[in-house]
């Protein structure tokens, strides 16, 4: 199992730093965020160290992410949330502040103070199909 001795989440997994553990399996750990956006803000991490989602092996991703529905139900029930944000930031430019793969599960209530500044736009003429093709080509098995 990969471990980075300088990673705060690896230190949590190793028991070197305490956390408010909520759920744990052989491959994953869920604990309360110490800087929550709302009470009940949960983090889910693989115990194996991988800095970002693209680096995460499919098997580790599957073992970790399979817990998301169960954890979402638990957070929603425990906080009486009307909804949830389940999100992941991938890389510092996207807001990832800890270089260890992690999902946020954030309980939401109507008119809470959390805001997300989506700057949605439309595709320009001729822009959609080339990006669709490039992504699809990247998913083809290497031969």
* pTM for this prediction: 0.90
**10-52: per-residue pLDDT in tens?**
999 999 999 999 999 999 999 999 999 999 999 999 999 999 9
pLDDT at 113: 87
- Reduce the secondary structure of 86-113 to three states and give it as a string: EECCCCHHHCCCCCCCCEEEEEECCCCC
**56-82: per-residue pLDDT in tens?**
999 999 999 999 999 999 999 999 999
What is the layout of strands, in order, in the sheet containing 83-87?
Answer: 21-24, 28-32, 42-46, 103-108, 83-87
Distance separating alpha carbons of residues 28 and 13, to the nearest angstrom: 9
Q: Which of 27, 49, 102, 109 is catalytic?
A: 102
pLDDT at 143: 44
106 by Cβ neighbours in 10 Å (0-12 / 13-18 / 19+) ranks as buried
CATH of 8-139, one of 3.30.230.10, 3.30.830.10, 3.30.428.10, 2.40.30.20: 3.30.428.10
49 is catalytic: no
Q: 83 by DSSP, 3-state: which?
A: strand
**76-131: per-residue pLDDT in tens?**
999 999 999 999 999 999 999 999 999 999 999 998 988 877 778 899 999 999 99
Question: How many CA atoms within 13 Å lie on the side-chain side of 113?
Answer: 4
């Amino acid at each position: 199992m990969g471990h980075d001795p300088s990673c705060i989440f690896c230190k949590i997994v190793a028991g070197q730093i305490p956390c408010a553990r909520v759920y744990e399996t052989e491959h994953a750990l869920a604990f309360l965020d110490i800087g929550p956006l709302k009470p009940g803000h949960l983090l889910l991490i693989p115990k194996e160290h991988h800095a970002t989602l693209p680096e995460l092996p499919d098997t580790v991703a599957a073992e970790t992410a399979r817990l998301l529905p169960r954890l979402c139900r638990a957070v929603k029930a425990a906080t009486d949330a009307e909804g949830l944000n389940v999100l992941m930031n991938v890389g510092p430019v996207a807001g990832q502040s800890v270089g260890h793969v992690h999902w946020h599960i954030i309980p939401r209530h109507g008119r809470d103070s959390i805001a997300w500044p989506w700057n949605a736009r439309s595709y320009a003429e001729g822009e959609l199909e080339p990006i669709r093709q490039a992504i699809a080509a990247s998913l083809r098995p290497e031969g």
